[in-house]
Structure 1
Amino acid sequence: MEYWEEINEKLKPWVDTALNKTVVDLFAGCGGLSLGFEANGFKTIGYEMDTQASITYGKNLIGDCINEKLTIESEYPKADIVIGGPPCQPFSVGGKQLGLKDSRDGFPIFLSAIKRLDPDVLLFENVRGMLYKNKWYLKEVIEELEKLGYYISYSLLNAKHYEVPQNRERVIVVGSKQRINLPRKVNRKVTAGDALGELAFQFDEKSKFFTESMDIYVAKYEKASKCINPRDLYLDRPARTLTCRNLAGATGDMHRVRLKDGRRRRITVREAARLQSFPDWFEFSGTETNQYNQIGNAVAPNFAYHLASNIKDHLMGTANSEYVLSANDQLKLFENEAVYQSR
């Protein structure tokens, strides 16, 4: 079975009546994280302020997506698990580090939801900078969660270690009223070629090829950035990280396929979706740019599947038992690693 055929079957939403657990997904986007949970039998309810992303969620998942902007006053239905990817902007104009007092930040909203719902389990994801430049802020968030009675475990995980054809690092934080561990790596490498198959070599009159001026710009970009290898897509390895910027714009860094005749072609929405491990049946709403942005912002669904499966095992009492460091000890490990890397 080809990788995309496997994903099409594996990531189908269903409801496990024996599990009977409801998940609230805050800042849900188009539903990448929720899809991983629904593929494990959880019921989901999403909250997303972007209208097109909310429509996409509703098209593809069993759960409803509430199209609204969340605040610390928002009310939610009863839920057993709270998940999400809170936007993180802890630095205000002028360099003041306001942390949880910053009104632009999503973590006060996430913490408010935890206080209101008192879930059995929580999970959030964020960019790797939370473990380095903004580690002070991650510590602040964790301390608030620990005050609420949660044991916290977190790490910098790479989606390529969880059957996703993409090198995508994210900080994953999971908490529970009992000690909980993060999922172990999966010993399987999935390449961009495994995900795209023949799509990588197909094109038609709608395909968007680089112009001569774009090729010249790319050459200058790669020279200025001292790029050893061109930024083209290599089919024998996982893709580099997909972002809104390198999908919907930014010629120099754009994700593109180099064809056998030497021409470069921008990857399509469906190809980008496959590299994020979205099933082929998953339909995106909105303009092409809307769709690229939804994909670039999403949690890779197959990565989410492993995160959800780990939580399901934890709730069912079938998780692998292993010692979990305290949050402070984990943070010290990352601080030591950051010091080592800076030398």
Structure 2
Amino acid sequence: MKSVELFAGAGGLAMGVTLAGFESLAVVEWDKWACDTIRENQKRAFPLVRDWPIWEGDVRAFDWSSIPQDIDLLAGGPPCQPFSMGGKHKAYGDKRDMFPATVEVVRSLKPKSFIIENVKGLTRSSFANYYQYILLQLEFPEVTRQHDECWSHHLKRLQSEKTSGALHGSGLTYNVVPTLVNAADHGVPQKRERVFIVGFRSDLGVEWSFPSASHSLDALLHTQWGSGEYWERHEIPKKNRPKITAALEAKVRKLGYLMSPPKEKPWRTVRDALAEVSDPRHSDGNFMNHAFQNGARSYPGHTGSPLDLPAKTLKAGDHGVPGGENMMVMDSGQVRYFSVRESARLQTFPDGYVLHGSWTEAMRQLGNAVPVALGRRVAASVAECLIAASTRQITQLRRWHVA
């Protein structure tokens, strides 16, 4: 199966796509530091990225005629800053809004499927109309914006086309499924909420839904306060375990965690993710990108990630890591910054994958990335549907041939 990756960044989603069995025909990214990260790992012959055809530049300047139409998957995360809770919230008025460029690539390549990821802020009420506009453009990419037509008028025309039903079954259309996802529910040791917009070309007849959650908070609470297995696994004696609050104890008893565990696996915590990683202040040199970064301090509302829950969302920031972010709260109650390697683990990047640049630059790349494990899970579910659709088409052709 063939794929193209847009806005690849440091390669999180693209690595997930590769792990799901896709072969990249183009990996496009404009940021020099992120491209240097990928190229450095290619020089190191890191297997997941070794054969990627990396192209440094604007997706709008890429020669898309060099890529065959009907590829299996187009994947990417357009820059999130126009919609981020911490950004300037300009959306369509922000020059970094790359959704129009993404729709143009869909229109040009006519991929069988696409995976598009962005921040939760895209779904907030102030962006409601523009979010609908994005979804409708992806559903009907051939209904193009006319010369001098504003986006709101284009939206009305798309809405009219959708309600009329005239375009379904003719031309290039997609069945589009948007889903708000918490990465922690899928085995990532980080509470990271993101929007995934997945589409399948309508002629394939695919019925798809986002993979069910494999991990849960309830299951974690059971291992901590029901069975106690969590603390035993980490060899934490009872005297050193945090005290359970009255409210949490009431919830534990009400939901019966003392009796039987939930069906999902436990959420993965910071302690789980960093179990074998030494403190960067006393590093033994066994891990790359694991230098200590000084200067961490808490601010109101920014107090770091507790060890025994998934980490708070890693932040990128336009001008470096925002104050009070990307920190862990140690057993002593003090805070320190996550090292680059620790942050990479929280984003489920492989330990052998090197991040290029300073701590600030590497953290920006990681903060903008899709967790590799989550990218793989979504891409694998898409691959499964594509294979099933191909099998159906082959079976139908054989029946017609026999008839």
1:66 to 50, 55, 61: 55
Q: How does 1:57-136 map to 2 (within 5 A)?
A: 57-58=38-39, 59=41, 60=46, 61=49, 62-71=51-60, 74-75=63-64, 76-78=66-68, 79-87=71-79, 89=82, 99=92, 103-132=95-124, 133-136=126-129
Q: How does 1:161-240 map to 2 (within 5 A)?
A: 161-177=185-201, 178=205, 179-186=207-214, 187-188=264-265, 189-199=267-277, 201=279, 203-204=281-282, 207-210=292-295, 215=297, 218=298, 221-222=299-300, 225=301, 231-240=303-312
Relative to structure 1, is the Cα distance of residues 90 and 39 closer, same or farther in structure 2, using a 3 angstrom cutoff? closer
Equivalent residues of 1:201, 1:259 under 8 A apart: no
Equivalent residues of 1:256, 1:266 under 8 A apart: yes
Q: Tell me whether 1:268 sits opposite 2:364 in the alignment.
A: no
Point out where structure 1 has 5 or more consecutive residues left out of the alignment: 1-20, 319-343
SS in 2 for 1:203: helix
2:181 to 157, 167, 182: 157
- Paired AA for residue 122 in structure 2: M
Relative to structure 1, is the Cα distance of residues 150 and 288 closer, same or farther in structure 2, using a 3 angstrom cutoff? same
- Paired AA for residue 71 in structure 1: R
Relative to structure 1, is the Cα distance of residues 245 and 122 closer, same or farther in structure 2, using a 3 angstrom cutoff? same
For 1:192 and 1:70, how far apart are their aligned partners in 2? 36
Relative to structure 1, is the Cα distance of residues 252 and 290 closer, same or farther in structure 2, using a 3 angstrom cutoff? closer
**What is the CA-CA distance between 1:27 and the residue it aligns to?**
0.6
Choose 1 or 2 for highest CA Rg. Answer: 2
Q: Which residue does the alignment assign to 2:12?
A: 32
For 1:103 and 1:249, how far apart are their aligned partners in 2? 22
RCO (CA 8 Å, sep 6+): is it higher in 1 or 2? 1
Q: TM-score, normalised by structure 1?
A: 0.74
Equivalent residues of 1:26, 1:47 under 8 A apart: yes
Q: For the aligned residues, what is the CA RMSD?
A: 2.9
Q: Which residue does the alignment assign to 2:30?
A: 49
- Paired AA for residue 354 in structure 2: E
Q: TM-score, normalised by structure 2?
A: 0.63
Q: Which residue does the alignment assign to 1:256?
A: 328
Number of aligned residue pairs: 281
For 2:375 and 2:185, how far apart are their aligned partners in 1? 12
Worse-matched range after superposition: 294-303 or 231-240: 231-240
Measured against aligned partners, the alpha-carbon deviations of 1:196-216 in whole angstroms (never above 9, x if no partner) come to 014264523853344xxx65x
**What is the CA-CA distance between 1:131 and the residue it aligns to?**
1.5
Point out where structure 2 has 5 or more consecutive residues left out of the alignment: 141-171, 215-263, 284-290, 390-403
**What is the CA-CA distance between 1:232 and the residue it aligns to?**
3.0
**What is the CA-CA distance between 1:294 and the residue it aligns to?**
0.8
1:282 to 353, 359, 364: 353
SS in 2 for 1:135: helix
Equivalent residues of 1:277, 1:300 under 8 A apart: yes
Relative to structure 1, is the Cα distance of residues 265 and 97 closer, same or farther in structure 2, using a 3 angstrom cutoff? closer
Q: State percent identity of aligned pairs.
A: 30
